[in-house]
Amino acid sequence: MIRTAALLGLGLTTAACSYNEAGSELQRGSFGNATLNNALVMTGERSYAVQLAERFANEVPDTINFAFDSAELDAGAMAVLDQQADWIRQFPEVRFRVFGHTDAVGSTAYNKRLGLRRARAAISYFATKGISRNRLEAVVSYGETRPLIATSERERRNRRTVTEVSGFLERQPTLLDGKYAAVVYREYIASAVPPTTISENTLDSE
């Protein structure tokens, strides 16, 4: 009896050591703490925000790069931002963040400012494409602290901004009923071709 109680006590102690607050395993990147995750999961928003974030990363390039010590957008960067802007306009209910990065050359303080200038350059470009700055939830500079390539030398791949889905706009009328799935799949529904149209097109081509 004493042995059984001891084993039970050991099991409870082990369980307590491995305890995770509900929702904490759902955290990804900037999506907040466990309490926020719990609330978003209960409303359904969390799941669809994650789906949109994954779709954005899979369907358009999320990163642009910069010349050394520059926050100017070159032709290649603007072409990528055009793709991002086209995607962003499909989802007027969704917020986005732009993260600025630098390589390791230069002081930490200077690179922090440079990363911010790069993020602001991307946001300013989005504004010229008709995207409200209110939908760009935050401008964040990581400076040189999160390199893609670990080097103290000049590295273009580290000189970048990254655009990510960050969540939904607050008090968005179309989302008050919790139909986040309709937002995620809306363009699929709108672009669906009725079977009759397909048949007619097939007959015409023959």
The pTM (predicted TM-score) of the whole model is: 0.64
Phi then psi for residue 88, to 5 deg, are -60, -40
The number of angstroms, rounded, from the C-alpha of 132 to the middle of its chain's C-alpha atoms is 17
pLDDT at 156: 97
Mean pLDDT over 149-168 rounds to: 94
The fraction of the chain above a pLDDT of 90, given in percent, is 47
What own/partner pairs with CB < 8 Å and gap ≥ 24 does 126-129 have? 126/81, 126/84, 126/85, 126/88, 129/81, 129/82, 129/85, 129/89
Give the pLDDT of residue 51.
83
Alpha helices in the chain (DSSP H): 2-17, 34-43, 45-59, 75-89, 108-128, 180-184, 186-191, 195-205
Map out the domains of the chain with their CATH numbers: 28-205 (3.30.1330.60)
* DSSP state at residue 47: H
- Which phi and psi angles does 25 have, rounded to 5°? -70, -10
pLDDT-based confidence at 179, cuts 50/70/90? Answer: low
Q: What is the largest CA-CA distance in the chain?
A: 85
Render pLDDT for 11-53 as a digit per residue (tens, 0 to 9): 444 444 433 333 333 444 444 455 555 555 455 556 677 888 8
Amino acid at 39: A
